[in-house]
Structure 1
Amino acid sequence: MEIRTFTEADREELRKLFERAGEGAPTASLWGHAESEAAIYLYPYMELEPESLFIAVDDGVMVGYLTGCLDTSSFPSEDKLLEQAVRRHRLLLRPRPMAFFARTLIDTAWAAIRRQPTASGFTDERWPAHLHINVAPEARGKGAADGLMRAWQDRLRQAGSPGCHLQTLVENTRAVRFFERMGFVKHGPTPLVPGLRHEGRRVHQQTMVWTP
């Protein structure tokens, strides 16, 4: 298993991997439109911080990736990227994204009535870095995820970062166990993630943090 940083020559293959890498996970696709999701969770990392984008290659085939950012405060917010994606791809005119956003509004109202918190971004100077990681189904258990995470943690140490955070789902127990094995610990509450469903049920955000 080879772990290396992203190069421009990887762009097209990585875009294809983005669509299939999360298969089987609760967040495999958020609203069913891969190009707009890539505009939030992949393309900005290619353009703004390619040195923090790591790729796993098995026998010449790209099987996993990790997108990272050393300082979340200097990176476009997820809300801003989402607004841009909605406009650029006319998501409000597409059935699947529209259904997702409608559920989001319903869930947000449902949580407000019950005075329950909903998922949000994370800002804490103790853990300014963040990451997203995905591995194709055929490469799980082969060391791709471990290799990607170790490469990212090495970069954080070399950069002198005080720490890193990530946000996953309480219901994604496989991911939570993996992150714990890599030294991350659960942090804060577990609010509702509006709009998202897994096996027909609402899901909840789990923030986790790591300190070198």
Structure 2
Amino acid sequence: MRIRPFHETDRDALRQLFVRAGEGSPTESLWGHPESEAGIYLEPYMDHEPESLFLAEDDGALVGYLTGCLDTAAFLSEEQRIADAIRRHRLVLRRRPAAFFARSALDAAAVALRRDPSAGEIRDPRWPAHLHINIAPEARGTGAADGLMHRWFDRLTATGAPGCHLQTLVENTRAVRFFERMGFTAYGPTPLVPGLRYRGARVHQRTMIRA
């Protein structure tokens, strides 16, 4: 297993990996349109912070990646990235995405009525960096995820970042256990993620931090 930096020539292969890397997980797909989802969770990192993007390669094939950001407050917000994707890909005119956003609006309204905590990014100077990590099904348990995380930790140390956070799902118990093993701890409430379902059930955001 080789962990290496991202290069511009990796773009097409990385987009293909994005489509299959989350297979079987609660966040495998948000609304069934991988191109727009990559425009939120992959391409902005390739475009704006490629030096914080690392790849796991097994015998020449990409099997995992980690996208990172050293300063969340200075990066495009997730809300803005989603809005851009909706507009660019006309998602409200596509059946599956439109159904997702309608369900999301209903979920958000119910959360507001109950005055429950709402899901979303955190912007805290104690943990300014954040990351997303994805591993192809065939590479899970091979050390690819560990290697990517340790390369990311090396970057945080080298740049003097005070801390890092990430967001996963309460229901993604495998991911939560992995992040705990990597030194992350749970932080804050576990709000409903509007619109998202896993095996027909609602899911909840789990924020985790590491100093």
Map of 2:175 onto structure 1:
175
Give the distance between the partners of 2:66 and 2:49, measured in 1 at CA: 12
Superposed displacement of residue 113, structure 1:
2.4
Map of 1:18 onto structure 2:
18
Q: Which amino acid aligns with 1:115?
A: R
Give the distance between the partners of 2:113 and 2:47, measured in 1 at CA: 41
Give the distance between the partners of 1:45 and 1:110, measured in 2 at CA: 33
Q: Which amino acid aligns with 1:153?
A: F
Identical aligned residues as a percent:
69
Map of 2:115 onto structure 1:
115
Superposed displacement of residue 123, structure 1:
1.0
Map of 2:161 onto structure 1:
161
Give the distance between the partners of 1:40 and 1:14, measured in 2 at CA: 14
Superposed displacement of residue 158, structure 1:
0.5
Deviations 1:3-36 (A, max 9, x none): 0010011110000000000001100100110111
Give the distance between the partners of 2:112 and 2:183, measured in 1 at CA: 34
Map of 2:145 onto structure 1:
145
Q: Say whether residues 1:56 and 2:56 are aligned partners.
A: yes
Q: Which amino acid aligns with 1:57?
A: E
Give the distance between the partners of 2:37 and 2:22, measured in 1 at CA: 12
Number of aligned pairs?
211
Report the 3-state secondary structure (helix = DSSP H, G, I; strand = E; otherwise coil) of the residue aligned with 2:121.
Answer: coil
Q: Which amino acid aligns with 2:168?
A: T
Map 1:95-110; keep pairs closer than 5 Å: 95-110=95-110
Map of 2:3 onto structure 1:
3
Give the distance between the partners of 2:175 and 2:117, measured in 1 at CA: 23
What TM-score do the two structures reach when normalised by structure 1?
0.98
Give the distance between the partners of 1:9 and 1:116, measured in 2 at CA: 45
Q: Which runs of 4+ in 1 moved over 4 A?
A: none
Greater shift after overlay, 54-63 or 104-113? Answer: 104-113
Q: Which amino acid aligns with 1:152?
A: W
Q: CA RMSD in A?
A: 0.6
Report the 3-state secondary structure (helix = DSSP H, G, I; strand = E; otherwise coil) of the residue aligned with 2:133.
Answer: strand
Greater shift after overlay, 57-66 or 110-119? Answer: 110-119
Superposed displacement of residue 114, structure 1:
2.2
Q: Which amino acid aligns with 1:74?
A: A
Give the distance between the partners of 1:131 and 1:27, measured in 2 at CA: 15
Structure 2: stretches of 5+ with no match in the other structure: none
